[in-house]
């Protein structure tokens, strides 16, 4: 009888403590698997899984179980899609996404359900601004960061009059605003902000407008398939010969091969470049290429760092994902040893990081220098 009681007691103890440490941590990947951003979603997922694989398939000694939902890059479906992971699959942590409109809905759902969220791309300023929360983190950027740096660079290059062009959605509009902030702080003037609906890629009418106004420079925010077509169309119109084209790194990251000759010489700003040539980055790029038979890009780095950040929180909590306060504190205070270079997190949980000046040469975004060191987003409206 005593033996049975002892065994039952052990089972009960296991169910509440030890066994909780042996069950897999549920990671919900809500990323684009179809459409314009499908390749970006794949690179983020591969980066995340690569870091986990490098740790022997575990984070802080815990097995990882993946649940996946295609976010379809559709904000109208975002709430239903994220609730599949939160309510149906009961994931411990959400990782997503690319499209800022979708990410905003994810952040809202994460706040309401108190689910841990790591954003490995979408730069919507509000996520770590007015919508900031203790359980919401980002391993990428705000739309403001690389755009502001590009505005500073364009002004330093002596340009006085510029135009911006982007899709009319959160990421594009905030990126254009960031460029305006940096460019006009340096003495320039943005004369017009051109937009078209996402994911429309019929640029001809807007290119005609640019040709007619003849600005000193153009700043463009597009990514994925849209970036490929825009850069090609800009060159086909002959504008690249007379009006320098600038953009955040998304204009050329993961798109250079498809853009071909049209991309050569393009100047962009981003928190990553292809030739950093540091031991950390070289090891990452080699392992990524061996594993996935393709070159890593900024999206892969951001996914990789999302896994690193999660591990920091888990280590601080002794592997216990349910000890939310310790997990969050560990993530918030971590210094991430990223392939992009080490970075810390701001009080709003956004990376404080160097923004590189890059130029397309061949099939790489070659680092030409640092546009701004340790740039922190202003996190307007953040109250935790």
Reading the block at residue 209, the tokens are 């407008």
Domain boundary among 220, 249, 270: 270
The answer, yes or no, to whether residue 2 has pLDDT greater than 80, is: no
Q: How far apart are CA 320 and CA 115, in angstroms?
A: 15
Q: Report phi then psi at 244, rounded to 5.
A: -55, 135
How many other CB atoms sit within 10 Å of the CB of residue 70?
17
pLDDT of residue 170: 83
Residue 337 lies in a domain: yes
| Average pLDDT of the residues in 340-360 | 98
Where helices occur in 196-332 by DSSP H, the ranges are 204-213, 224-236, 256-259, 279-292, 298-316, 324-332
Residue 364 lies in a domain: no
| Average pLDDT of the residues in 78-86 | 97
Residue in the block written with tokens 């986990």 = 52
Helices (H) and strands (E) in the chain, counts: 13, 14
Are 175 and 156 in the same domain?
yes
Q: How far apart are CA 287 and CA 310, in angstroms?
A: 20
Are 207 and 176 in the same domain?
yes
Q: The whole model's pTM is what?
A: 0.88
CATH number for the domain that contains residue 64: 3.40.50.2300
Domain boundary among 202, 235, 270: 270
The answer, yes or no, to whether residue 15 has pLDDT greater than 90, is: no
How many domains does the chain contain in total?
A: 2
Are 98 and 150 in the same domain?
no
Are 157 and 185 in the same domain?
yes
Provide the 8-state DSSP code for 377: -
Residue in the block written with tokens 């594009």 = 172
Q: What domain range includes position 76?
A: 2-141+276-349
Are 6 and 137 in the same domain?
yes
Residues of the chain with pLDDT > 90, as a percent, come to 89
Cβ neighbors of 66 (< 8 A, separation 6 or more) are 27, 28, 29, 49
Are 131 and 163 in the same domain?
no
The answer, yes or no, to whether residue 7 has pLDDT greater than 70, is: no
Cβ neighbors of 274 (< 8 A, separation 6 or more) are 295, 297, 358, 364, 365, 366, 367
CB 272 within 8 A of CB 340: yes
Residue 20 binned pLDDT confidence (cut-offs 50, 70, 90): low
The answer, yes or no, to whether residue 349 has pLDDT greater than 80, is: yes
Residue 199 lies in a domain: yes
Are 264 and 149 in the same domain?
yes
- Give the C-alpha distances (Å, rounded to integers) separating 252 from 150, 173, 205: 14, 19, 22
Residue 74 lies in a domain: yes
Domain boundary among 218, 235, 270: 270
The answer, yes or no, to whether residue 360 has pLDDT greater than 90, is: yes
CB 176 within 8 A of CB 219: yes
Distance in angstroms between the alpha carbons of the first and the last residue of the chain: 54
Residue 356 lies in a domain: no
The answer, yes or no, to whether residue 113 has pLDDT greater than 70, is: yes
Are 173 and 287 in the same domain?
no
Are 136 and 6 in the same domain?
yes
Residue 375 lies in a domain: no
Report angle CA 271, 118, 59 to the nearest 5 degrees. 100
Residue 366 lies in a domain: no
Are 298 and 342 in the same domain?
yes
Provide the 8-state DSSP code for 341: -
Angle between helices 38-54 and 279-292 (to 10 degrees): 110
Q: Cis omega (within 30 of 0) on the bond before 199? A: yes
Are 97 and 189 in the same domain?
no
Q: How far apart are CA 306 and CA 122, in angstroms?
A: 13
Give 162-184 pLDDT, tens digit per residue. 999 999 988 899 999 999 999 99
Residue 66 lies in a domain: yes
Are 39 and 167 in the same domain?
no
């Amino acid at each position: 009888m005593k033996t049975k009681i002892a065994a039952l007691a052990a089972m009960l103890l296991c169910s509440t403590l030890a066994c909780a440490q042996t069950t897999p941590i549920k990671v919900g990947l809500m990323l684009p698997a179809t459409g314009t951003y499908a390749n970006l979603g794949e690179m983020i997922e591969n980066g995340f899984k690569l870091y986990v694989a490098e740790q022997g398939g575990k984070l802080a000694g815990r097995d990882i179980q993946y649940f996946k939902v295609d976010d379809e890059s559709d904000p109208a479906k975002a709430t239903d899609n994220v609730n599949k992971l939160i309510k149906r699959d009961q994931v411990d942590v959400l990782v997503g996404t690319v499209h800022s409109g979708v990410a905003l809905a994810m952040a809202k759902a994460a706040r309401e359900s108190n689910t841990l969220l790591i954003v490995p791309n979408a730069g919507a300023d509000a996520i770590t601004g007015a919508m900031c929360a203790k359980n919401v983190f980002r391993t990428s950027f705000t739309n403001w960061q690389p755009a502001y740096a590009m505005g500073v660079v364009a002004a330093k290059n002596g340009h006085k009059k510029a135009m911006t062009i982007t899709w009319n959605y959160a990421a594009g509009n905030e990126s254009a605003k960031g460029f305006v902030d940096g460019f006009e702080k340096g003495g320039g003037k943005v004369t017009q902000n051109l937009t078209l609906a996402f994911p429309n890629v019929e640029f001809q009418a807007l290119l005609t407008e640019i040709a007619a106004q003849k600005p000193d420079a153009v700043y463009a925010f597009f990514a994925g398939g849209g970036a490929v077509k825009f850069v090609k169309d800009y060159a086909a119109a002959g504008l690249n010969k007379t009006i320098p084209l600038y953009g955040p790194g998304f204009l050329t990251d993961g798109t250079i091969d498809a853009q071909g000759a049209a991309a050569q010489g393009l100047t962009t700003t981003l928190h990553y470049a292809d030739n950093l040539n540091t031991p950390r980055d070289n090891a990452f790029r080699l392992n990524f290429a061996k594993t996935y038979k393709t070159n890593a890009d900024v999206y892969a780095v951001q996914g990789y760092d999302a896994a690193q950040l999660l591990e920091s929180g888990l280590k601080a909590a002794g592997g216990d994902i349910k000890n939310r306060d310790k997990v969050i504190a560990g993530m918030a205070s971590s210094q991430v040893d990223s392939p992009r270079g080490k970075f810390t997190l701001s009080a709003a949980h956004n990376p404080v990081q160097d923004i590189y000046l890059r130029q397309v040469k061949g099939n790489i975004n070659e680092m030409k220098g640092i546009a701004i060191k340790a740039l922190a987003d202003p996190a307007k409206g953040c109250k935790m």
